[in-house]
Structure 1
Amino acid sequence: MHHLFVRFQVLFIRRVPDMPSSKVAVVMRTKNRPLLLARALDSVCSQTYRDWILVVVNDGGDPEPVERLVRERATSADDRIVVVHHDRSLGMEAASNRGIRAVTSDYLLIHDDDDSLHPQFLEKTIQFLDSPFGSRFAGVAVRAVKVLEEIRGDVIVTLHREPYRPDIKTVGLAEMAVSNPVPPISFLYRRSVHDAVGYYDESLPVLGDWEFYLRILERFDIYYLDEELAYYHHRYLKTGAYSNTVVGQTDLHRLYDTLVRNRRLREDLAKGTFGLGALLAIASLHASAANAKKALTEEAKRSVVRQLRHNRVRRVAVYGTGEFADDLYRLLAHNGVETGVFVDSDARLHGKMFHGVEVVPLEEAARRGFRDFAVASFSYADDIAATIALAFEQWNLPVRIFCP
């Protein structure tokens, strides 16, 4: 594995005299974001589990606000905060590694300065990893809540909250090869993992957490605790100190996603093995195909709407009751086209309601006078269109079919 080794100077490290080793070390990376840092410090200080030590790594930012915020929390933190200042920015992964090596602990958490924790995060995750069942896992990830917010002057305003990646129920290597569903704030892991897989790759300006998780999952398992115990904060700013890298540096994320995959695939090719590199390549191809199909499906829905509007259709029968039909119904309503009935070949659905609209067989739709049909399927559009056309030909009735 190729790493970029950087020379750096730590201006100073302030340690509490005779600081004991703690059960868990929280490493907090920050740079010139005092408003967010204050919230992050309070997030750790409010934990119900108290055997922790916090390492704040100021990665090239102004040291004065960091020192002031730490001093203000000296009592609530019981003087368990270590501050590391870099005279210039070394990057997120270098900051993580410096913080990890500054103290000793059994467990580790990377806590970015713009995220926050539920007060019971440490209590519940440590309790799990200390349990007989939890002892087989390298770490535990919890469900995160995505928090959309904005900065108004000196105030952080929450705009919206929703579960982050609600589809995730487990953390597997195959799923991680597609994309990273685990924000750093939601993952507590054993320090001993670093002895087995190494530290964070300092050559990566982004995606260092994803690359590290891949190395963990090559060797060990990660448990998923389905409780909302971490808050993953987003601000839709493209630039500035208060922006998110996942929002403001999307092009950089795409580039390094490709570079990490290429590197591991070349390692497989050099060894003549089918390993993680091959898995990453397959996952990338699968994701590309899925994204392409999604894009085609979305365009197919828009195509149906354009056809209906071009022909001045104001009321239509929609053939289908699946996901495509669900989205098409909303799109039609948004464009002023009424769905009069849904049509489905499944007799079990007949007479039931979908979006408050009755589901009927094709012949019933014809009997009610519907002559305009929108096909709500991408994969079976031609078959459905042929079924409608043949039936209306047999009934000697005119029909217009609007197909993706």
Structure 2
Amino acid sequence: MSVYNCKDFSALKRSILSIVNQTFSDWEFIIYNDGSKDNGKTTQFLKDIKKLDKRIRIIDNPDNHGLAYAKNQMIKAASGKYITAQDDDDVSMEERLSKEVEFLDQHSEYAFVGTVATVFDHAGTWGHYDLEEKPTKNTFLWNSPFLHPSVMFRKEVLDVVGGYRVSWETMRAEDYDLFMRLYSLGYKGYNIQEDLYKYRIENNPNKKYRPMRSRLQEAKVRWQGFKKLGILAKGMPYVAKPVLIGLIPQKIFYLIKKSRY
């Protein structure tokens, strides 16, 4: 888990406790403080939270380098054979880790496994995150076919591809980029069709979802990824998708988003 200038410490604690309280117990929990600059509030909170469980490890980095860099540092520090992450305001159901570990133990043909999820915000559950059970290369055309913070990887596979790619275009799409690079090398993923994860998305019609810069970054990631997958010809109309969606009026986009979940 990477944390930067935490805005909601109660949500962060709830997220951390959802890992501490897993039925699967053979884990280490690495929390990376990615150069928080909030007068020591996040740093002190993490010092206190470490006392909850001896399996929690805190890495304090004085400078902020972004998610891809932070995740690579945590992968290097990790000692387990499986790697999974969690966003700092999401929640894992108590059997999530046990079911993902069991799946990878029993299915060597898959390099990673994720799950479908319920979608919630401060007011409660408001939607569902549906995903294809066995994504193919073509599944990447519309969206990433995996919910990144729900995914558990074989560490050896992450090592093969060098982890997450740190660059301008992957600042908000490091997961999409990683999944396409893995598929381009012949690795495959699977989505367990159980709600083992609770994914936070604010259901607010007035909130701007993503700035145009992020959409341009994703467009470049799509172009590069589709090329690696050998689907660029059919994928060209989808390369521009994030930019075109960013041009839709906010209220209309809100209705589209609600229909998606």
- The one of 100, 110, 121 equivalent to 1:137 is 110
The aligned amino acid for 1:208 is E
Name 1:39's counterpart in structure 2. 14
- The one of 231, 255, 259 equivalent to 1:279 is 231
Superposed displacement of residue 281, structure 1: 4.8
Name 1:176's counterpart in structure 2. 140
Return the structure number with greater strand share. Answer: 1
> Is 1:210 aligned to residue 176 of structure 2?
yes
TM-score, with length taken from structure 2: 0.80
Structure-to-structure mapping, 1:362-401, within 5 angstroms: none
Structure 2 unaligned blocks of 5 or more: 249-261
Residues 1:207 and 1:94: Cα distance change in structure 2 (over 3 Å)? same
Paired residue secondary structure (2:197): strand
Residues 1:255 and 1:286: Cα distance change in structure 2 (over 3 Å)? closer
Number of matched residues? Answer: 237
Deviations 1:162-221 (A, max 9, x none): 211x36332222112331132222111100112222211111211000000111112211
Deviations 1:344-402 (A, max 9, x none): xxxxxxxxxxxxxxxxxxxxxxxxxxxxxxxxxxxxxxxxxxxxxxxxxxxxxxxxxxx
Q: State the distance in 2 between where 1:124 and 1:167 align.
A: 17
Name 2:48's counterpart in structure 1. 71
Paired residue secondary structure (1:129): helix
Q: State the distance in 1 between where 2:32 and 2:153 align.
A: 19
- The one of 60, 74, 99 equivalent to 2:74 is 99
The aligned amino acid for 1:189 is F
Superposed displacement of residue 286, structure 1: 5.6
Q: State the distance in 1 between where 2:200 and 2:188 align.
A: 26
Paired residue secondary structure (1:101): helix
Q: State the distance in 2 between where 1:72 and 1:252 align.
A: 35
TM-score, with length taken from structure 1: 0.53
Name 1:49's counterpart in structure 2. 24
The aligned amino acid for 1:74 is K
Residues 1:264 and 1:143: Cα distance change in structure 2 (over 3 Å)? closer
Q: State the distance in 1 between where 2:128 and 2:112 align.
A: 21
Superposed displacement of residue 260, structure 1: 1.8
Runs of 4+ in 1 over 6 A off after TM superposition: none
Q: State the distance in 2 between where 1:238 and 1:58 align.
A: 31
The answer on whether the counterparts of 1:261 and 1:281 sit within 8 Å (CA) in structure 2 is no
Q: State the distance in 1 between where 2:124 and 2:157 align.
A: 37
Q: State the distance in 2 between where 1:167 and 1:186 align.
A: 12
> Is 1:90 aligned to residue 65 of structure 2?
yes
Task: Determine which structure has more spread, i.e. the larger CA radius of gyration.
Answer: 1
Residues 1:70 and 1:226: Cα distance change in structure 2 (over 3 Å)? farther
Structure 1 unaligned blocks of 5 or more: 1-27, 150-156, 269-274, 296-404
The answer on whether the counterparts of 1:97 and 1:200 sit within 8 Å (CA) in structure 2 is yes
The aligned amino acid for 1:221 is K
- The one of 218, 229, 250 equivalent to 1:257 is 218
The aligned amino acid for 2:153 is Y
The answer on whether the counterparts of 1:146 and 1:162 sit within 8 Å (CA) in structure 2 is yes
